[in-house]
Structure 1
Amino acid sequence: MGVILKANSVKLIIGLIGKEEIFNRVKKILIQKFGGIDFENPVLDFNFTDYYELEMGGNLKRQFLSFKRQILPDKVASIKIYTNSLEKRFSAAGGRRRVNIDPGYLTLSKLVLATTKDYQHRIYLGKGIFAEVTLRFKDKSFREWEWTYPDYRSREYIDIFNYIRNNLCGKKERK
């Protein structure tokens, strides 16, 4: 019989998609809730899909945040519920989102994202929230799976997550 172990803490990551002018307001609230940010990438153009354009308009931007305070991995579902409530709080008249706020976590071996959408490779966490391993760490870098979204496959995003991973584990030798 296997021994049940306590889960290790993980690095909370939150991705933002929307108009850049709303990001600072959202970040301020996220800092109040989750503590200080230890990394945020320069704001990037988000042009991998037009999925959000009907709801949020064009010329969307993307930014990832990494938080100093680590979390237990089982908290990602309640964090996703919280970030969905923030999306509603920032919504325009008629309920159209102005910002997409996607939480997940990073470990030395993987990037996990929380979602409300079920699919064949996603695991139910409870309260309507699912999780997927979006990237895996192999051969000194994060790597995609067949289901990884196109933006998360990009060299630019993978470099961001490699940087956060290096920050997470310091200068130690990595697998």
Structure 2
Amino acid sequence: MSAKWKAPLKEPPAARFYIAVAFDEDEHYHDMKKKLAAEFGKIDFETNPDPLLPVPSLYGGHDYRKFRVISFERPIAREELVDLRRRCLALEVRHQKNGRLLVELDPGYVHIYGAVRTALEEDFHRIYLYGGIYGESLYYFEKMSYRPWLHTPDFFRSPEILVAFNDLRLIVSQA
């Protein structure tokens, strides 16, 4: 009896969970930051508070004045992304005033070869995960730095944002 061939499947290494946070007022950001730490654990990376103008809304209609990228100490399994996005949506819903979000959360993960974010709408370059959540690759790694794809939104092409994601990649590569 001959042995059957089986593909050698491997679990990918853990990824670094990040949330891109857009907001107008510092007090709303600090309030949300406390909620995020309570929900996802210790925050151990945060970009500088320099404002980047304008910060486009994920949902349209409003541009924010400030933006930060934060990351959490706990590594995540990549399949957790849908659950993490849903938890972020629940936090956004609880943090609004007169039907307008005070803080927008754009979660994703960074791994050694790229960065992925979540989306709620289908597009040609997005991959459906499940539960109404899509995955979108933002960057690929080449020549010692992340590089944006052709479909990467303009905002994520800015040098300040690229530096933040390269810093996150260094943390992942040293883990």
The two structures share one fold, judged by TM-score above 0.5? yes
Tell me the secondary structure at the aligned position of residue 80 of structure 1.
Answer: helix
Aligned to 1:46: 52
Q: In 2, Cα distance between the equivalents of 1:26 and 1:9?
A: 25
Alpha-carbon contact 1:113-1:132 (below 8 Å) kept:
yes
Q: Say if 1:137 and 1:29 are closer, same or farther in 2 by CA, change over 3 A.
A: same
Fraction of identical pairs, as percent: 27
Say what the alpha-carbon RMSD is for the aligned residues. Answer: 2.0
Give me the TM-score of the superposition, normalised by structure 2: 0.88
Task: Report the CA distance between 1:37 and its aligned residue.
Answer: 1.1
Match of 2:119 among 115, 140, 144: 115
Alpha-carbon contact 1:90-1:99 (below 8 Å) kept:
yes
Aligned to 1:101: 105
Q: Say if 1:138 and 1:54 are closer, same or farther in 2 by CA, change over 3 A.
A: closer
Give me the TM-score of the superposition, normalised by structure 1: 0.88
Give a deviation string over 1:50-97, Cα, whole Å, max 9, x none.
5579755x662000001110110011111111111111101112x211
Following superposition of structure 1 onto structure 2, how do residues 14-33 of structure 1 map, counting pairs within 5 Å? 14-19=19-24, 20-33=26-39
Q: In 2, Cα distance between the equivalents of 1:24 and 1:98?
A: 11
Q: In 2, Cα distance between the equivalents of 1:74 and 1:89?
A: 25
**Which amino acid in the other structure matches residue 82 of structure 2?**
A
Equivalenced residue count is: 169
Q: In 2, Cα distance between the equivalents of 1:59 and 1:6?
A: 38
Unaligned runs of 5+ in 1: none
Q: Say if 1:169 and 1:51 are closer, same or farther in 2 by CA, change over 3 A.
A: closer
Q: In 2, Cα distance between the equivalents of 1:99 and 1:9?
A: 27
Tell me the secondary structure at the aligned position of residue 45 of structure 1.
Answer: coil
Aligned to 2:154: 150
Q: Which range moves more in the overlay, 135-144 or 18-27?
A: 18-27
Larger Rg: 2
Q: Say if 1:82 and 1:52 are closer, same or farther in 2 by CA, change over 3 A.
A: closer
Tell me the secondary structure at the aligned position of residue 22 of structure 1.
Answer: helix
Alpha-carbon contact 2:55-2:66 (below 8 Å) kept:
no
**Which amino acid in the other structure matches residue 101 of structure 1?**
L
Instruction: Find out whether 1:12 has 2:17 as its counterpart.
Output: yes
Q: In 1, Cα distance between the equivalents of 2:66 and 2:108?
A: 19
Task: Report the CA distance between 1:114 and its aligned residue.
Answer: 0.8
Unaligned runs of 5+ in 2: 1-5
